[in-house]
Amino acid sequence: MKFTAQLTRRRALGLAIASVIVAAGLTTPTVSVGATAAATGTRAIPSGGTTSIRSGPTGVNGLQQPELRPNGRAEEGSAEANRARPGSNDSPFPDSPLPPPKVQSSAVARSNPDVAVSVNGLTHRDQRLANGGNQFSLEPPDQALCVGNGYVVEAVNSVLRVRSARTGAALSGVQDINTFYGYPAAVNRATGVIGPNVIDPVCLYDPDHGRFVVAITTLHVRPDGAFTGRNTIDVAVSNGRSPLGNWTIYHVPAQNDGTEGTPNHGCTVDGTNPGPCFQDYPHIGADANGIYISTNEYDLFGPKYSAAQIFAFSKAQLAAHGSSVNVTLVEDLSVAGTPGFTVWPANSPKGEYSKERNGTEYLLSTIAGDGSETGNPTRTANKLGIWAITNTKSLNTATPALGITSRLTNSQTYVFPPKATQKRGPIPLGQCINDTKLLTPFGDGCWRAFFVNEPAHNEVESSPDSLDSRMQQTWYVNGTLWGSSGTAVKVKGELKAGIAWFAVRPKIDDAGQIEGKVKKQGYIALADNNLTMPAIAFTRDGKGAIAFSVMGEKYYPSAGYVRISENGSVGPIHIASKGLGPDDGFSGYNAFTNGAPRTRWGDYGAAVSDGDTIWMASEYIGQTCTLAQYADFASFGSCGGTRTALANWYTRLTKLSQ
């Protein structure tokens, strides 16, 4: 979920920040079988109408009140009730924290001969100025990417765009997601009315039916931005093979409090009194029969994390874009007695689906995180959760009867990663807050552009967030389930953020239980630098790549990748696009966060295969400028049209050939 903040009006400029709410190879024996269960609750969801990707006017440089959304929600819940005690007989967690693995540094390739296309994708400037500027400033750019039929669809919080899969050239303007889904603008700058909060976009191309699918979680709000409690999983499916035509929308109620046909999952506002649930961090996968959106369910207003949920749709029904579609909820996922957390459904190249048990969709998860969701107080683990949704062909019937089975299997160690360092360079937003001498229309000191009351002038270059060790994107090809996660690593004696990758051979036994072992695994690290937000994808012939961000003493935040083969051979690190300056966004500074900065970065990247090519999307920094350029009050904060006043993130889209 995005990092958001509350703003109050400044007379001279109409902008002052008042408060902030911080949103988010070895073969080993298999252990801990989970029981097979059936999914419950199939509902018919009526069409919410049609839409299309249509770019509107672009906003103007400078600051407009409000810049930041006035309400938000902490991404991590406390979830104390879910905590298992380490060392107990039934606990899958270590007795004490495991040490970070010692890892050799990868080499850095001198050239990128397999890069066929590399272009800037969506940027913070694109996001903020879309829809005539009726948008908030958001961090981070959660990354959605899908490719097929000659088109690339990229989405971030809270815009999307279509490009050519041949050249990477833009085929549409920048479309804000609020109006794409038929909602009011994120903020109406004429009236001050605030629209729904759309978060965490995901995207998938269905090669079997030639359809693009984009999904989000939407938090519905009152005109002042306060949450109503209602939230929906919103799904848009292209009516044809081109994303430039019409799309059909379906709004799936997801508050799971017993209203609008949802089950009652017992969420509360205070640990006791009933309240709505909230579906965070949606992710998407598919097999031959279905499209699956996984979420992490929290109390919207209360303290608790519940468990992972799966919203399952028939591929064929979505492709037909009828007056209604069915959705089947696979509820409250657990493994070995612990709540499922970020249970990521796999994607596959066309035809590379499991036919077991009348169709099976595989998923992966880790069991560490920061401990608040999984109940693992050590924030370390050496086991993976492997999952299967079975009988997926039943999604094409009026009465789907899905099964869910899970178990833990032993793996290499993964550990909650440290924050990332970044190469030193100009940070004009931070320098502006520190400045007391520049002459501005409001008096001496650049800080006056943002604040009525003088802040402390103690801002420094920030350390971008490395998230945690949750599973990132997963891929199923040639009978192997691949995944990757963040981890702490010791490389040349230094603690850094690195990547753990895993290859599992899953299957379903005669009793319908999942089996599987980690067949190959490894780490990726770079001395003096950090690697974050991995995303893995494979072509049908077993050629793969892992995309990530690179940052540290030697690199500004950059877009990187490695090639990986189905035999587990990993190549050197390639820098697809070198960063031009440090991350310089509002979420990393004390003055905007009441002294509790958390420099939001990524939350997730993306990688997909399209025939014999792989497309990747990663966050990086594609601009730099000085304080003098930034503080030009004719176009304050724009640095010649390369950024906005409050953030400078970019995304990079890279196409790899064979």
* pLDDT 10s digits, 296-305: 999 999 999 9
**Torsion sign over Cα 156, 158, 164, 165:** positive
* Confidence grade of residue 72 (pLDDT, cut at 50, 70, 90): low
Percent helix, strand and coil across the chain, each rounded to 5? 10, 45, 50
In the prediction, which pLDDT does 548 show?
98
Q: How far apart are CA 176 and CA 10, in angstroms?
A: 27
Mean pLDDT of 90-101: 93
* Confidence grade of residue 21 (pLDDT, cut at 50, 70, 90): very low
Mean pLDDT of 67-87: 55
User: 30-34, 434-438, 442-446 — which is least confidently predicted?
Assistant: 30-34
| Residue with more model confidence, 634 or 654 | 654
Burial of residue 596 (number of CB atoms within 10 Å: 0-12, 13-18, 19+): exposed
Q: Which helix (H) or strand (E) holds 319?
A: helix 315-320
* pLDDT 10s digits, 440-456: 888 999 999 999 999 99
Query: Is the CB of residue 23 less than 8 Å from the CB of residue 73?
Result: yes
Task: Answer yes or no: is pLDDT of 76 > 50.
Answer: no
Percentage of residues in the chain having pLDDT higher than 90? 87
> Is 0.85 topped by the overall pTM?
yes
In the prediction, which pLDDT does 495 show?
98
Mean pLDDT of 44-65: 92
In the prediction, which pLDDT does 634 show?
85
Phi, psi (5° rounding) for residue 435? Answer: -75, 135
- In DSSP terms, which residues pair with 494 in a beta bridge? 491
* Confidence grade of residue 13 (pLDDT, cut at 50, 70, 90): very low
Task: Answer yes or no: is pLDDT of 80 > 90.
Answer: no
* Confidence grade of residue 148 (pLDDT, cut at 50, 70, 90): very high
Structure tokens at 38: 């059936």
In the prediction, which pLDDT does 136 show?
97
Task: Answer yes or no: is pLDDT of 314 > 80.
Answer: yes
Q: How far apart are CA 94 and CA 378, in angstroms?
A: 7
In the prediction, which pLDDT does 70 show?
85
Q: Which helix (H) or strand (E) holds 214?
A: strand 211-221
In the prediction, which pLDDT does 26 show?
30
Q: How far apart are CA 77 and CA 453, in angstroms?
A: 32
* Confidence grade of residue 410 (pLDDT, cut at 50, 70, 90): very high
In the prediction, which pLDDT does 32 show?
40
In the prediction, which pLDDT does 89 show?
57
* pLDDT 10s digits, 346-393: 999 999 999 999 999 999 999 998 989 999 999 999 999 999 999 999
In the Cβ-directed half-sphere of 611, how many Cα atoms lie within 13 Å?
11
In the prediction, which pLDDT does 440 show?
86
Task: Answer yes or no: is pLDDT of 25 > 80.
Answer: no
Task: Answer yes or no: is pLDDT of 12 > 90.
Answer: no
* Confidence grade of residue 74 (pLDDT, cut at 50, 70, 90): very low
* pLDDT 10s digits, 606-643: 999 999 999 999 999 999 999 999 999 889 999 999 99
* Confidence grade of residue 91 (pLDDT, cut at 50, 70, 90): confident
In the prediction, which pLDDT does 81 show?
42
In the prediction, which pLDDT does 88 show?
52
Phi, psi (5° rounding) for residue 326? Answer: -90, 145
| Residue with more model confidence, 626 or 11 | 626
Q: Which helix (H) or strand (E) holds 430?
A: helix 428-434
In the prediction, which pLDDT does 3 show?
31
* Domains, the chain, with CATH or none: 4-85+100-656 (2.130.10.10)
Number of H helices, E strands in the chain: 6, 36
In the prediction, which pLDDT does 207 show?
98
In the prediction, which pLDDT does 63 show?
86
| Residue with more model confidence, 15 or 627 | 627
User: 28-32, 288-292, 522-526, 645-649 — which is least confidently predicted?
Assistant: 28-32
Mean pLDDT of 253-261: 97
